[in-house]
Amino acid sequence: MTPVAPLMLLLLRVTSPCDTGTRVVLVPFERLALPSADARELEEATRRAVAAMPDACLESREDTLARLRGSGDALAACGDAECRSAQASALGASKLVRGVALGVGGKRSVALTVTDARGTEARAQFEAPATAPGEADARAKKALEQVWSPRTTARATRGPQGSRLLPRVLWGAGGAALLAGVGFGLASRSTESKLSKNGGECATAGESFAACFSSQLRKGRNQARTSNVLLGVGALLGAGGAVSFIWELP
């Protein structure tokens, strides 16, 4: 049985006041590095923004959850726009909206994918500061307005060419920074170990022992500081690669 076949059966079980030409289905958000309460808050803000779109009749969350419970992992099985478009058609929806709520880098954001039953697909993203009440609604609405109409959607749709390039670059740079950071960390530990054993190289410095010891100690501190900076940069680049990878997911 195809991934969309169970959804066809569910159309008989879940009623909706929306017709096929205006029905929009918003799948409950996935989340990454964000508490479930925050993810739900961002999902609800997006739902309100979707409901405000022209000619959009948003299916209730309860009806969508009923479809998901009855269809198993049918919605999760798709890996391309064509399949998701077929899902939208099977659900009797004009558009299918998916989202990932992110909490990377100390910021809350949402990556959205909007697929319509005609096969076009577009992506949008917005940040939603927790300290600004109502800001999530406004930013979600602005992001959706940029990809909602067919003309804008066609321009915003991302093709397969060049996909995954940015995440690879970020992960490569992050990996190099992490390796360099580990190297400086090991050098710092080595310097510290040598100094702790009777002064290390400074043991034979005679009257210059104090100056030698101070120089080696400063060297170890610089190595440790450089290690911390590189490890931090590597972690940030890795997180950026993760966000970019999710953003480019089909």
Mean pLDDT value across residues 140-158: 68
Candidates 129, 113, 110; CA nearest to 121 is 113
Higher pLDDT pick, 10 / 71: 71
Mean pLDDT value across residues 99-118: 89
What confidence category does residue 187 fall into, taking pLDDT thresholds of 50, 70 and 90?
confident
What pLDDT, in 10s, does the model give residues 46-62? 999 999 998 899 999 99
Structure tokens given for 245: 């990878």
For the cut 80, the answer to whether the pLDDT of residue 171 exceeds it is no
Round to whole Å and give the CA distance between 145 and 156: 12
What confidence category does residue 10 fall into, taking pLDDT thresholds of 50, 70 and 90?
very low
Round to whole Å and give the CA distance between 45 and 51: 10
What confidence category does residue 249 fall into, taking pLDDT thresholds of 50, 70 and 90?
low
Is the CB of residue 33 less than 8 Å from the CB of residue 102? yes
Higher pLDDT pick, 18 / 73: 18
Which stretches of 33-161 are assigned E, i.e. beta strand?
57-58, 95-102, 109-116, 121-127
Round to whole Å and give the CA distance between 63 and 224: 56
For position 11, what pLDDT does the model report?
A: 45
For position 157, what pLDDT does the model report?
A: 41
Round to whole Å and give the CA distance between 106 and 108: 7
Mean pLDDT value across residues 79-95: 86
How distant, in Å, are the alpha carbons of 136, 187, 243, 250 from that of 78?
28, 48, 20, 9
For the ranges 28-37, 102-111, 216-225, 226-235, the one whose mean pLDDT is highest: 28-37
CB-facing half-sphere around the CA of 84: CA atoms within 13 A:
22
For position 44, what pLDDT does the model report?
A: 96
For position 133, what pLDDT does the model report?
A: 76
For position 84, what pLDDT does the model report?
A: 85
Q: At which residue do the structure tokens 């008989």 appear?
A: 12
For position 19, what pLDDT does the model report?
A: 84
For position 201, what pLDDT does the model report?
A: 63
